[in-house]
Chains A and B, each alone.
Chain A
């Protein structure tokens, strides 16, 4: 194999032969599968999985929750895209969550989930994830598995080198993939070079409630900032970003951004910049961005438009930013569990480049620079290089670690996961992926303590792997056992959307904290009620507010009269249940919105604008009880000119 790799073309040929070969075997026997694979992924009915896997949905905009090793899907958490099932972005409470400086946006491209950490280990409190298209960072609270905060990132575009957290969740970091004029202005695209800027945004996270706030933006040269990861251990306080398009091209990037032999990994000493801004450094610049917060007590999201952001130029803080030359448009930027090694996955390079944090610090100390880029010192490649994994495959994208001295890298073009050793840089094992793997994830991978039992490969292409579903077929994940010397493929499972990275954590850390109900007594919703005594219907001009309750198995009220054509009818519906797993739904015939799916103790609101007189039914959409089918009601709608008073009742 090693000899063949010397010539990439031969390797391609060899691999395609290998794949063909594999396929033949698949038809004859279990192919790459070990014989007892089924047992090792089988989680018996009623048993729980060992790990949670939070797998991003890419163009679905959401985050899906799987169990490992079974690959069972538990939930799709709506994040950046409207979800009619859960009324996310449809009900009055969550519409503000999708507000931006560009107005309401019903979709985004969700990429990189990362779980909060304490002392470099996963604490399972929150997952952060980036919206790539209209730059945003979302926070999902893992006690409720709901998106509870979204902050827009100004001066950014293609929010891709995000949303990675530092080892005490001091910051969640969002880097721009596309450089843009900062501030945005009308200018010729051809004047990109030297004028466009790349913002790296450090969002502070409140240690108590997780509240996000942009602490500062580092305004970097106009490269593309592709991916990033925090330092840890000795390198805690630093953040590393891969760059491409250091050529600063603005057109035909596939050619023009692939010319430089080496691009950079930008090493940012955020502690130094934090100190600088804490002492009054940086400049406030006008910037509009939305900050949306969902409150579990009011069950309501609020959107606030921010007007300014603190920016810092690297030149203002000498010694805070350095550039590490890294071959060929590196994609993934991965830091090993000790914090010593920084892997640059040069996607157009035949080799994998690994930098040493210790050597980087020595080189900085010795001021051994190889020029600068816009005033940012460039270190010498040889001075920071820890080692090279020589020709391990084609198209390296991402690397994860098992905590036992091994690294696992995905190769998109040669469609495989390759296991190699940190320090000796030798390839230990390789396993094919079906097909064209992008990200991979080892539970606990981005921390000091990976669990090192499984790796999940996320594939971009499946072709013939599953039953066909027309031109659009599923994307998939593959689970490998990595507890032994050789990786073993155990399981394929389909994914929601196109996963771009995932985060995994031991289920024990999360499941005990998972909330069962919302306490009705804590319901602070503006239109919430805590008992049937508060049920009522009020008119305010042409607005009608229905304070409705639901409990097995009726709505209160379930007969309403006095509504008129032209009214805007708000159904504020409170689920009075206080039992685990007893949600109720509600939907109204002809309402131009989704259903509501309301958890015990929660209040949600939908709006109905009746267009014609009649008696219109509504009903419960969640099979809540033996009398679910009876859970229904009527609203009488009279002509606009009628003078029937509002009245409401239950059981009369």
Chain B
């Protein structure tokens, strides 16, 4: 049963956001924010993404796209892994719980790496005609990549990047897969 719950929990990614990036600055007493859902970017407050784009165009950053390929791939990935997880939960040996757990860890890590790469690209692929160009102390061109996890000062903004409820549900689901494996092992050993 725990395995089934673990397999189902990631579905909550379709309800709750995965990640949130928040930009604070003195001129924004209500910070600008963007939620990253498994299939969408969403404003924290109305028009935030439009206003983030407006801010970022000064330093030559690209507009945050309406859609990225991941919005199609990730939902399918989650649906497939959930499906597999449910089959395992009802049909398979506890050892498969471990395989599912390892698979999920690998899939999630791939997702995070993808997220990091996107962030890096977004923060570094700057328009050569950018209105304002900044350089690092070593002379290299300054990038504006938001933090992957945590908080970071970028010019006049403080950017925060933290997982949201959807990510916690995913994490908990994966953890439950491992718990199910441990419990299954104990049960077998006892009997």
Contacts and interface: CB of A to CB of B under 8 A. Distances in A.
A552 B131 contact: no
Interface stretch (B46-54, B60-68, B140-148, B177-185): B46-54
Interface in B22-50: 30, 46-47, 50
Interface in A595-652: 626-627
A579 B47 contact: yes
B56 to A, nearest CB: 12
Nearest to B131: A627
A578 B47 contact: yes
A551 interface: yes
Contact of A578 (B30, B46, B58, B131): B46
B125 to A, nearest CB: 21
A577 B55 CA distance: 12
Contact of B51 (A579, A626, A627): A579
Contact of B50 (A578, A580, A626, A627): A578
Interface residues of A, number: 9
A577 B132 CA distance: 21
Contacts of B50: 578-579
Interface residues of B, number: 9
A119 to B, nearest CB: 33
Nearest to A579: B51
A626 B58 contact: yes
A546 B47 CA distance: 26
Contact of B54 (A517, A551, A580): A551
Nearest to B51: A579
Contacts of A552: 54
Nearest to B46: A578
A578 B58 CA distance: 17
A578 B54 CA distance: 10
Contacts of A517: 47
A579 to B, nearest CB: 5
Interface in B131-165: 131-132
Interface in A529-580: 551-552, 577-580
A626 B54 CA distance: 12
A76 to B, nearest CB: 24
Contacts of B132: 626
Considering residues A551, A552, A579, which has the most beta carbons from chain B within 10 angstroms of its beta carbon? A579
A579 B131 contact: no
A341 to B, nearest CB: 46
B130 to A, nearest CB: 12
Contacts of A580: 30
A616 B86 CA distance: 71
A503 B47 CA distance: 35
Considering residues A517, A577, A580, A627, which has the most beta carbons from chain B within 10 angstroms of its beta carbon? A580
A484 to B, nearest CB: 36
Contacts of A578: 46-47, 50-51
Interface string A459-478: 00000000000000000000
B58 A579 contact: no
B48 to A, nearest CB: 9
Nearest to A580: B30
Contacts of B47: 517, 578-579
A434 B187 CA distance: 91
B25 to A, nearest CB: 12
A44 B30 CA distance: 20
A560 B51 CA distance: 28
Interface string B79-96: 000000000000000000
A517 B30 CA distance: 14
Nearest to B43: A578
A551 B53 CA distance: 12
B54 to A, nearest CB: 6
B58 to A, nearest CB: 7
Nearest to A630: B131
B182 to A, nearest CB: 51
Interface string A503-526: 000000000000001000000000
Interface in A49-74: none
Contacts of B46: 578
Contacts of B131: 627
B46 to A, nearest CB: 7
A578 B46 CA distance: 8
B29 to A, nearest CB: 9
A290 B131 CA distance: 51
A578 B50 CA distance: 8
B154 to A, nearest CB: 16
A288 B23 CA distance: 57
Interface string A284-326: 0000000000000000000000000000000000000000000
A578 B49 CA distance: 10
B178 to A, nearest CB: 45
Contacts of B51: 578-579
A650 to B, nearest CB: 14
A631 to B, nearest CB: 12
A410 to B, nearest CB: 40
Nearest to A601: B47
B50 to A, nearest CB: 6
A551 B47 CA distance: 14
Contacts of A626: 58, 132
Contacts of B30: 580
B177 to A, nearest CB: 43
A577 B46 CA distance: 12
A627 B132 CA distance: 10
A548 B47 CA distance: 21
Nearest to A551: B54
Considering residues B30, B50, B132, which has the most beta carbons from chain A within 10 angstroms of its beta carbon? B50
A644 B51 CA distance: 39
Contacts of B58: 626-627
A580 B32 CA distance: 11
Contacts of A627: 58, 131
A531 to B, nearest CB: 11
A577 B51 CA distance: 8
A43 to B, nearest CB: 17
A504 to B, nearest CB: 26
Nearest to A578: B47
Interface of A: 517, 551-552, 577-580, 626-627
The 3 closest A-B pairs by CB, nearest first: A578-B47, A579-B51, A552-B54
9 contacts: A552-B54, A577-B54, A578-B47, A578-B50, A578-B51, A579-B47, A579-B50, A580-B30, A626-B132
Given A517-B47, A578-B50, 15 more contacts: A551-B54, A552-B54, A577-B54, A578-B46, A578-B47, A578-B51, A579-B47, A579-B50, A579-B51, A579-B54, A580-B30, A626-B58, A626-B132, A627-B58, A627-B131
Interface of B: 30, 46-47, 50-51, 54, 58, 131-132
